[in-house]
A and B are shown apart, each in its own frame.
Chain A
C-alpha cells in the first residue's frame, strides 16, 4: 500500500513537473505582502504583477513569448530574499527580477552582478545608482545590473530640502531652520540620512540628532515630544506609510507644529485616509506624472491594467500602484529591445535595453511614467522630483479612499517640481 502510494505520487510529480513551454521568459517578482513594509508593498507589487500579466494578455508577452512570472512574498526579511534568489537562479533561471526592499537589494548586488541578472528594485537607495563603481564611496560597490524607476531616496530628500529652504524664506521666518531625520535603524530609512544631513548643513539648516522609530506601527508620542522639545521645523519621515501614520497621529495629538517631509514610500492615499487630518500638509515626492483619477494620454492603459486584478474597475489605485506599473514596463520594454531582430532575451541584453533610449517613457504610458535615462555609469534614472502636498480637510473615517478623493476631502496638490543637477559627487549616495 505504502509503496503503491509512493509510486503514484512520484508518477504524478513526474507528469506535472516538466516545464510547460520552454518558450516562456522566466521573471522573478519579489514582494512584501506580509512584512514591515507591506502597507506600500502590496499596491506596488500589485501594480507590477498586473502590468506583467497585462503584457502577457494584450501584447502577447515580449516578442511573442509569454512572461513566466514567479512571485514570492518574502515578508521583508533579507535572508529569505537571498535564498529565494538562489532558487530563482538555480531552478527557474530567471533573466530579470522585480525586487523590493533596500536591505535585500543591497545584499543581492554582488549576486546579480555575478549572474548578470537585471534587478529592478522597489528600493531607491542611492548606493544602487553607481553602475560603474566609480564614485569611490566607502561601502558602495559597482551595481551595473541594478535599476529602479524614480529619483533615489537621497535625491528626493535633497529636492525636499531645497524646497524647505525656499519655504522657510518665503514664509519670512527668521534664523536658521532646524532639520531632523526620523526613521528606523534599518538600511532603508538610513539610506538617505547622510546625504540629507550634509545638504541640510550646506543649505544653512541646523541639523538635530536623528530620532528613531520602528518600521511597524506603535506609540510614538515620545518621539513627538522630542521633536517639540528640540524645536524642529522640518522633519524627514524615513519609514513607510504604516509607521509614519503612527508618528503623524501622535504628533497631531501632542500638538507638534512641524513640517513633515515624507519619503517616497512614506505617504500615499491609503495613509492619508488612515492618518486623517494628521496627514494634512505632509510634503512628499510622487514618481508619476499623473495620479489615479486624473486624465493623461496613458491613463486609459493604466485603467485597463487595473482591471486585471479588479474586473469591476472601481478600485482606487494609490501612487505606488502606478509606480509599480512604470517599473514593470521599463523592464518589459528593455526586454523588447533585447528581443529585437530575433535576439536572445538574456540578462546582459536586457541591461543593454535599459541604455537604448534617452528620456525614456514606456510606449503607451505617456503622461503617466516620467522620462528616465540610464547610462552604463549612472543609473540615476531621473533627477526630477515632483513634490506633492497631502491635503486632508474633514473626517476620513467614512467612505473609501476613492470616494474621499472624489469628494475632495483628501487631495494631492502639486507643490513644485525640483530639477536637481546631475552632480558627479552625488552619484552613489
Chain B
C-alpha cells in the first residue's frame, strides 16, 4: 500500500527476493540498526519505571503480534487470547518448578505447549466463522480460566505461583535493567520471524484466506488447515509473551488472564493496525502508555483549581478508566486504519516536505 508509493526513483525490482524484502531502502535499514542500538543503550539513560513500561510494551507486543496474525492476517477472530497468554505464563513457571528445566529453555517450551493448546481450541475455527467462531473462542477463555483456578498442580491454584527469574550462565536477569535485554532480543526474534513468515508460501496462504476464502480454496489452499494453523501460530506468540511476563513479574496468578485482558489484546491490534507487523508493537505501546498518560494528567489535576471547582477529589482515579475507554472509541472513529497507517503518513510527510501534496 502506501509504503510502495514512496520509493526513490530508479528503484526497479528485478527479482521476487528484492520485491519481498522487509526493509526496502538503505535508510530504513540504517534506521533499524540505529533504533536497536539506541534501545540497547536505554538502560543506561532510563529509570526502572520507564524501562518497565518498555518491557511491558515488548511483552504485550509479542502477544499482540500473535493475535494480529490471527485477526489481521488470517481474518479470524479470537476473544480468548489472554487465556493463551496465561497458558504460556503458567506452563513456563510449571516446567521450571516441576522439572527444573532452566528458564531460558522453559520460555520456548511454554510457547510450544501453548501452540498445542491453541491448536486444540482452534479446531472449531476449521468449521466456524465470524460470530460463531468468536463465541467458540470465548468458550476457550472460560474453560482455560476455570482450569487455571482449579489445577493447583499446574498453576498453584487461586493463590498463584511465584516464578524464578531467568538465569543464563549463572547471571540472573532479575532487574528491569537486565530483563530489558531479554525482552529486546525476544521482540527482535519474534518480529523478524513473523515478518518472514508473511513472505513465505504459508504466510501468503493466510492472507489469501483472509481476503477471500472462496478464491483461496479455488486456488488450492486448504482452508481448514490454514485456519487451524493460524490459531497455533497465534498461540505460540501468546505463549512466549506469557512466559516472558511470568519471569518478569516473578508472580503469576489466574486473575490476570481474564476476558478483559483478551479484549485489550483485540484493542491493541485494532489500534495498532490490523495486518501490520509493526502496528502490533505500536498498539501495545499505546495501550501501555495511555493509562500512564491519563494518570499523569490526573496527578496534575489533583489539587488544582479545576479539581476543587468540579469536586473531583478521590474519584479522580476513575477519570483514568473513563479516559481510556473514550480514547479507544475516538481512535476507532478517527483512525480506523490504526497507528501503523498514521506512521506511514508521518513518514511520507517528512520525506516529501514541503511538497506533501
A residues engaging B (CB < 8 A)?
13, 16, 33-34, 46, 49, 71-73, 77-79, 82-83, 86-87, 89-91, 103, 106-107, 110-111, 185-187, 190, 309
Contact = CB atoms under 8 A, between A and B. Distances in A.
Contacts of B264: none
A33 B249 CA distance: 24
A100 to B, nearest CB: 14
Interface stretch (B47-55, B108-116, B126-134, B189-197): B47-55
Given A78-B255, A86-B48, A86-B176, 12 more contacts: A73-B318, A78-B253, A79-B252, A83-B56, A86-B49, A90-B48, A90-B49, A103-B158, A107-B160, A107-B162, A185-B150, A185-B157
Given A77-B255, A91-B49, A185 B158 contact: yes
Contacts of B256: 77-79
Contacts of A73: 317-318
Contacts of A82: 249, 251
Interface in B262-278: none
B333 interface: no
Contact of A187 (B158, B300, B317): B158
B253 A107 contact: yes
A106 B159 contact: yes
A78 B251 contact: yes
B322 interface: no
12 contacts: A71-B314, A79-B251, A79-B255, A86-B176, A87-B49, A90-B48, A91-B47, A103-B159, A110-B162, A110-B250, A185-B149, A185-B150
A90 B52 CA distance: 9
A33 B160 CA distance: 22
A112 to B, nearest CB: 12
Interface in B109-164: 149-150, 157-160, 162
A72 B158 contact: no
Contacts of A103: 158-160, 253, 255
A83 B149 contact: no
Nearest to B53: A87
Interface string B312-326: 001001100000000
A310 to B, nearest CB: 12
A84 B255 CA distance: 15
Interface string B222-238: 00000000000000000
Nearest to B320: A73
B227 to A, nearest CB: 32
Contacts of A77: 255-256
B158 A190 contact: yes
B293 to A, nearest CB: 10
Interface residues of B, number: 26
A296 B49 CA distance: 45
The secondary-structure label for the interface of chain B is: helix
B317 A71 contact: yes
Contacts of A33: 317
9 smallest A-B Cβ distances: which pairs?
A90-B48, A91-B49, A90-B49, A79-B256, A107-B251, A187-B159, A78-B253, A77-B255, A73-B317
B38 to A, nearest CB: 18
Nearest to B315: A33
Nearest to A76: B255
A6 B309 CA distance: 29
A49 B302 CA distance: 15
B57 to A, nearest CB: 13
Most buried by A among B56, B149, B150, B249: B249
A49 to B, nearest CB: 7
B63 to A, nearest CB: 14
Contacts of A91: 47-49
Contacts of A186: 158
Contacts of B56: 83
B313 to A, nearest CB: 8
Contacts of B255: 77-79, 103
A27 to B, nearest CB: 15
A46 B315 CA distance: 12
Contacts of B51: 90
B87 to A, nearest CB: 16
A164 to B, nearest CB: 27
A138 to B, nearest CB: 13
A374 to B, nearest CB: 25
Contacts of B317: 33, 71-73
A397 to B, nearest CB: 27
Contacts of B314: 46, 49, 71, 309
A38 to B, nearest CB: 12
B159 A190 contact: yes
B300 A16 contact: yes
A111 B296 CA distance: 25
A73 B49 CA distance: 19
Contacts of B160: 78, 103, 107, 187
B159 A90 contact: no
Contacts of A187: 158-160
Given A90-B49, A91-B47, A103-B255, A83 B249 contact: yes
A185 B151 CA distance: 12
Nearest to B317: A73
A79 B89 CA distance: 13
Contacts of B318: 34, 73
Contacts of B157: 185
A126 B84 CA distance: 34
Contacts of A106: 159
Contacts of B52: 83, 86-87, 90
A82 B256 CA distance: 11
A43 B280 CA distance: 41
A106 B159 CA distance: 8
Contacts of A110: 162, 250
A13 B300 CA distance: 10
A232 to B, nearest CB: 24
A283 B296 CA distance: 45
A79 B59 CA distance: 15
Contacts of A90: 47-49, 51-52, 176
A186 B159 CA distance: 7
A16 B296 CA distance: 10
